[in-house]
Amino acid sequence: MTIEVRKLAAPMLAEVVGADTTKPLSPEDRATVNQALIDHCVLVFRGQMLEPQQVLDLADAFGPVEPHITVKYRHPDYPDLIVMTNMDENGEISEHETARGVGWHTDMCYMPLPAKATLLHTIEIPEEGGDTLFANMYMALEEMPQTLRDKVEGLQATFRYGGRAADRNLRLEKTDQDKPLQAHPIVKRHRESGRESLFVNPTHTVGIAGWDDDAAQDLLAEVYEWGNQERFQARHAWRPGDTVIWDNRCSWHSATGENPRRQPRRFYRATIADRPH
Ligand SMILES: [Fe+2]
């Protein structure tokens, strides 16, 4: 069966139909889905419940899988996967864990080589709520007023896990909590598409390299306000058996944290490095 890619929302998001993700994809199909990710920024594969190894095989179609920085969430048998859940160690719905992933951000932007993509596969989802939001940062940059673009062009922003909120950092191992700030350009070129996008985000960005903090926060606030417009955004409502992968280099994402029935939410998550195999 040939793979078909169907666009779902205007700013980004497409469904991949006809891919059997229970088996490793053929080289042709790997190339097709990777190109679809570059073209649409977010892809959904529907209706296939996957085991950890199948999740890793699908992630590998997009690039080399690398372990995530949050060691405490790693899968005990598959350390390249982390388990995203809203439950604590006792299986109780936890406000702290529910808040994980809420707020616009990109994954691993605080590392020397930010992640290419992140893949989430549903294990268990609530009957309502729990959607994930995405925002297209190519569009945010392309449509940015020239006056604002002139201000950010050529600047480097600084990043660390959790940004300016010191408590988020406590999810990390002690040795990872005091890493030096990582710098990346605010306007960053995508390795595969060659296009530029807006790379700072309100969760993990700390400041602007070489700038006075007040001035940096003023400019960043202006940039975030611009980026946070509904016309750049798409919403994914999860269904059982969904696998979603997004391109971290040109998009923001945020969990909504909505869970009106206080039901369990669990995903396998894989992170894909921004380098070829
Ligand atoms: Fe994330």
Which residue stretches of the chain have pLDDT < 50?
Answer: none
Pair of tokens at residue 77:
């048998």
Instruction: Tell me if 170 is assigned to some domain.
Output: yes
pLDDT value of position 165: 78
* Ligand 1 centroid from CA 147, angstroms: 30
pLDDT value of position 71: 87
* Ligand 1 centroid from CA 103, angstroms: 9
- State pTM to two decimals: 0.94
Nearest to 164 by CA among 210, 221, 113, 114: 221
pLDDT value of position 175: 67
* Ligand 1 centroid from CA 106, angstroms: 6
Q: What is the CATH number of the domain that holds 86?
A: 3.60.130.10
* Ligand 1 centroid from CA 60, angstroms: 19
* Ligand 1 centroid from CA 111, angstroms: 14
Q: Which residues line ion ligand 1, judged by CB < 5 Å?
A: 101, 107
Instruction: Tell me if 268 is assigned to some domain.
Output: yes
Instruction: Tell me if 218 is assigned to some domain.
Output: yes
Q: How far is CA 2 from CA 17, 19, 23, 214, in A?
A: 8, 8, 15, 54
Instruction: Tell me if 277 is assigned to some domain.
Output: no
Instruction: Tell me if 198 is assigned to some domain.
Output: yes
pLDDT value of position 69: 81
* Ligand 1 centroid from CA 32, angstroms: 25
pLDDT value of position 68: 85
* Ligand 1 centroid from CA 105, angstroms: 6
DSSP 8-state class, residue 72: G
* Ligand 1 centroid from CA 8, angstroms: 21
The residue range of the domain holding 241 is 4-272
> Do the bridges between strand 233-236 and strand 14-17 make them parallel or antiparallel, or are there none, so unpaired?
unpaired
| 209 touches 155 (CB < 8 A) | yes
CA max distance for the chain = 57
Instruction: Tell me if 135 is assigned to some domain.
Output: yes
Mind listing the pLDDT tens digit for each residue in 219-230? 999 999 999 999
pLDDT value of position 223: 98
| 111 touches 182 (CB < 8 A) | yes
Count of domains in the chain?
1
Pair of tokens at residue 165:
């909120």
